Amino acid sequence: MKRALSGRVAVVTGASSGIGEAIARALAAGGARVGLIARRADRLDEIAASLGAKGHVARPFVADVRDRNSLTEVAGAVSGELGRVDCLVNNAGMMLLSRVEERSFEEWRTMIETNLVGAVETTTAFIDQLTDGGGDVVNISSSAGGRARPASSMYSATKAALNAWADGLRQEVADRGVRVIVVKPGAVHSELVEHISDEELREKARDTRQRVRALDAEDIARVVTFAVTQPEHMSVSELLVRPT
């Protein structure tokens, strides 16, 4: 029997734009009560209000996934307002492309702290709720985690490390009914590339998305919905999704 979304409580990090927003909208439309996590309060408020206007339940929770204390607070606040979280989507991420000679130490550190440590610490903040009855941890990785390119070396490293961590986690928590799912998208239209500080690399990333007819955020949301609604005995552990 499929695991329905109605009656479930989901939390999505990086829900203020792009893939995270689309996932949050899809899970809420399916009947889950959804906690939206990101730093931009105005965006979260708008998304929660637009979902509320459609009769769905979504609440904004402002937090930075690099701040362990704020994650602990949010984990308590979500369960207090919405109930036990049984679906966590680790989606918050940054792709700050740069070549080694640029010495972008701060950007490399930001990606490690957001894409890898952020996902690990968010999961840790919610792990007791997830194991207390089972659920899903979805990690939005990237096709870049399996194949690095020039200037994506550190971004790819964070996603490859996320994949390895998720594979270990999957085996640690399976006996408590928690499924760990890794989704690896190729190019998707979103704000991701707009944060690249190197103008040439930013323009190139934009061009690639036009040239290959990048995926839409909603395409990834459909894949996540598919994975988390499979019957409890079935774990969709990894999904690689590319533009055709």
Contacts with ligand NDP, residue ranges (CB under 6 A): 13-14, 16-20, 38-40, 43, 64-66, 91-95, 114-115, 140, 142, 185, 187-188, 190-192
Specify the DSSP class assigned to residue 216: P
How far apart are CB 132 and ligand NDP at their closest, in Å? Answer: 25
In the complex with ligand NDP, the residue whose CB is nearer, 167 or 232, is 167
Specify the DSSP class assigned to residue 22: H
How far apart are CB 110 and ligand NDP at their closest, in Å? Answer: 8
Is 155 catalytic? The answer is: yes
d(CA 228, CA 187): 22
In the complex with ligand NDP, the residue whose CB is nearer, 29 or 94, is 94
How far apart are CB 230 and ligand NDP at their closest, in Å? Answer: 21
In the complex with ligand NDP, the residue whose CB is nearer, 61 or 79, is 61
Tokens 């659920």, located at residue? 135
In the complex with ligand NDP, the residue whose CB is nearer, 79 or 115, is 115
H-helix or E-strand spanning residue 13? strand 9-13
From the candidates 108, 126, 155, 165, give the one annotated as an active-site residue.
Answer: 155
Identity of the residue numbered 61: F
Handedness of CA 130, 161, 121, 216 (dihedral sign): negative
Chain centroid to Cα 21, Å, comes to: 10
d(CA 144, CA 150): 11
How far apart are CB 138 and ligand NDP at their closest, in Å? Answer: 11
Contact 71, 58 (CB under 8 A): no
Compute the half-sphere exposure of residue 57: CA atoms within 13 Å on the CB side of its CA: 15
Query: What are the catalytic residues?
Result: 155
